[in-house]
């Protein structure tokens, strides 16, 4: 029987198996940040242990970092302490840290691929559930907890129960106004927040093959909200090209050797999966979440469901979500007013995401009473966007142009929603209180978020108008 790409990577890294079903796998790359690492480092110190492979371990500041003026002191004491602690731990244990002042700083799931830390066929571990993002490059990427992080620090290995395997095929050409974000939201809307629990999801199909690497990162990132343990996409020439010349990627003879291996990372004909699903996204419209989990989603032309319109088992959760979101049910999605817009996060803060948002923002203005923020996923993304003039497009339209970080997505920094504020967001989670106590989040694509900023209500980008990329007039500046 043929093997899937996941199985091939798993078998190459498998070191041992226990009778209880746990497997020990080798970890090629460990990325850590300021929130989940302090206790792990403290435990290492207490036990007198070192980081076994400091050369394969990298730290970045992302969750706590302010995204405003970096010449100003960090105002929040807790954020400042966590950032200072990561710097001190990195120095003590000999780990390269992309700190607050680094030109390479950014969200872990953005900088990994852009720096060549993430490569096809490797295992990646990070103390964040959306580590699955790295699977878009054909890596086996695993989000881990603090105790697991300590184990990886000390041994460069991880005990894990092998996930089941699920293949999700997306087919059809995405129509104008629809994006990778809309495709994965449609999948989660269908399977629910638990539909992929315990599975490593392999994405395939003609839609995925046509996607850019950055678009694949979006679907790999957000399928975690469908319960997946991780996600993976077969690497192809697009992936290989994206890694050429990266800061930490292979070069010279190492590149040639890597390519020989990378080209073997295909799922064989006849590879077995525990579950298989397929979706036709050829007629997909922009998707918008209305409730308090990502499965509570409808098309932009639809209405918010009423409690009586859902199954008996969903009625209580629907009523609770509507109450929290300040909705009655039955509202047309495009009638819902917003006060904030957030374009950013590890889901949608890459250069192509900012280009999409600019295709709607150019020549228009943010609606009165709306505060709109664009937060690049890394300082590298920010600099490249500025070279292309995207910053000027956003600033002229009335958006705030920020520095890189997790920002509003997690609300652990200075960027938070006020109580009752409603936000159109390109992030991945719309849980209660996630962006700030009492904050209300509607998930959507960068195209839809930018259209909503202009309209002052949740809006259909096709109705507001979407420019062709050529119409942005991007000219790379020195």
Residue ranges per domain, the chain?
5-276, 288-472
Strand order in the sheet with 422-425: 400-401, 371-374, 340-343, 422-425, 440-443
**Residue of 413 and 334 predicted with greater confidence:** 334
Q: For 243-302, how does the pLDDT look when each residue is reduced to its tens digit (9 = 90+)?
A: 999 999 999 999 999 999 999 999 999 999 999 999 999 999 999 999 999 999 999 999
Q: How far apart are CA 435 and CA 422, in angstroms?
A: 10
Q: What is the mean pLDDT of residues 363-376?
A: 98
Identify the band that residue 476 occupies on the pLDDT scale cut at 50, 70 and 90.
Answer: confident
pLDDT in tens, 333-360: 999 999 999 999 999 999 999 999 999 9
Give the position of tokens 């929040």. 76
pLDDT for residue 166 is more than 70:
yes
- What fold is seen in the domain 5-276? Aconitase; domain 3 (3.30.499)
Write down the pLDDT at residue 330.
97
Q: What is the residue-averaged pLDDT of the chain? A: 97
Give the CATH superfamily of 288-472: Aconitase, domain 3 (3.30.499.10)
Q: Which pLDDT value is given to residue 312?
A: 82
Please check whether the two domains, 5-276 and 288-472, share a CATH topology: yes
The partner residues of 341 in beta bridges, in order of sequence, read: 372, 424
pLDDT tens-digit profile of 314-323? 999 999 999 9
**Angle at 389 (CA atoms; ends 385, 393), nearest 5 degrees:** 105
83-101: average pLDDT: 97
Residue 419 has pLDDT above 80, yes or no: yes
Asked if residues 430 and 329 have their Cβ atoms less than 8 Å apart, the reply is no
* Burial (Cβ within 10 Å: 0-12, 13-18, ≥19) of residue 55: exposed
% residues pLDDT > 90 (the chain): 96
Dihedral (C-alpha) 256, 258, 259, 265: value to the nearest 10 degrees? Answer: 160
pLDDT at res. 74: 92
Cα 70 to Cα 372: distance, rounded to the nearest angstrom: 20
Q: What angle do CA 26, 28, 34 make, to 5 degrees?
A: 110
Q: Is the dihedral of CA 350, 97, 234, 127 positive or negative?
A: negative
Would you mind telling me the total number of residues written for the chain in this entry?
478
pLDDT at 182: 98
Residue % of the chain over a pLDDT of 70: 100
Residue 478's pLDDT is what? Answer: 60
Across residues 67-92, what is the average pLDDT?
A: 95
| CA–CA gap between residue 124 and residue 296 (Å, rounded) | 30
| Residue with token string 């603090």 | 146
Pick from 48, 82, 84, 38: nearest CA to 63: 82
CB-based contact 423:369 (threshold 8 Å) = no
């Amino acid at each position: 029987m043929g093997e899937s790409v996941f199985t091939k990577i798993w078998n190459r890294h498998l070191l041992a198996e226990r009778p209880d079903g746990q497997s020990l796998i080798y970890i090629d790359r460990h990325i850590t940040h300021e929130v989940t690492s302090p206790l792990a480092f403290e435990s290492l110190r207490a036990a007198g242990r070192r980081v076994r492979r400091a050369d394969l371990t990298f730290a970045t500041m992302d969750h706590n970092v302010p995204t405003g003026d970096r010449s100003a002191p960090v105002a929040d004491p807790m954020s400042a302490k966590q950032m200072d602690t990561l710097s001190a731990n990195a120095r003590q244990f000999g780990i390269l840290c992309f700190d607050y002042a680094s030109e390479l700083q950014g969200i872990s799931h953005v900088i990994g691929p852009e720096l060549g830390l993430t490569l096809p066929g490797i295992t990646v571990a990070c103390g964040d559930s959306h580590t699955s993002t790295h699977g878009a490059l054909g890596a086996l990427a695993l989000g881990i907890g603090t105790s697991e992080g300590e184990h990886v620090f000390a041994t460069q290995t991880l005990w894990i129960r092998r996930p089941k395997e699920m293949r999700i095929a997306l087919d059809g050409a995405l129509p104008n106004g629809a994006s990778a974000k809309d495709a994965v939201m449609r999948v989660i809307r269908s399977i629910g927040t638990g539909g992929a629990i315990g599975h490593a999801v392999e994405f395939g199909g003609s839609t995925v093959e046509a996607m850019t690497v950055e678009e694949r990162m979006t679907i790999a990132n957000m399928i975690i909200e469908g319960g997946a343990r991780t996600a993976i996409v077969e690497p192809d020439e697009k992936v290989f090209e994206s890694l050429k010349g990266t800061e930490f990627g292979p070069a010279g003879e190492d590149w040639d050797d890597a390519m020989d291996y990378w080209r073997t990372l295909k799922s064989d004909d006849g590879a077995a999966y525990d579950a298989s699903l397929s979706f036709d996204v050829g007629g997909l419209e922009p998707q918008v979440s209305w409730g308090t989990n990502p499965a509570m989603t409808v098309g932009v032309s639809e209405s918010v469901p009423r409690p009586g319109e859902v199954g008996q088992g969903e009625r209580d959760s629907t009523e609770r979500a509507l109450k929290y979101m300040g909705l009655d049910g039955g509202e047309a999605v495009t009638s819902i007013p917003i006060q904030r817009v957030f374009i950013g996060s590890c889901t949608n803060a890459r250069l192509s995401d900012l280009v999409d948002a600019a295709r709607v923002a150019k020549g228009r203005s943010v609606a009165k009473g709306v505060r709109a923020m664009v937060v690049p996923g890394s300082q590298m993304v920010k600099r490249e966007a500025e070279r292309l003039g995207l910053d000027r497009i956003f600033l002229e339209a009335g958006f705030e142009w920020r520095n890189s970080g997790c920002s509003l997505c997690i609300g652990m920094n200075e960027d938070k929603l006020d109580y009752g504020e409603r936000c159109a967001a390109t992030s991945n989670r719309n849980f209660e209180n996630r962006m700030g106590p009492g904050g209300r989040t509607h998930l959507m694509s960068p195209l839809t978020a930018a259209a909503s900023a202009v309209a002052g209500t949740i809006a259909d980008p096709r109705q507001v108008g979407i420019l062709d990329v050529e119409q942005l007039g991007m000219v790379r500046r020195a």
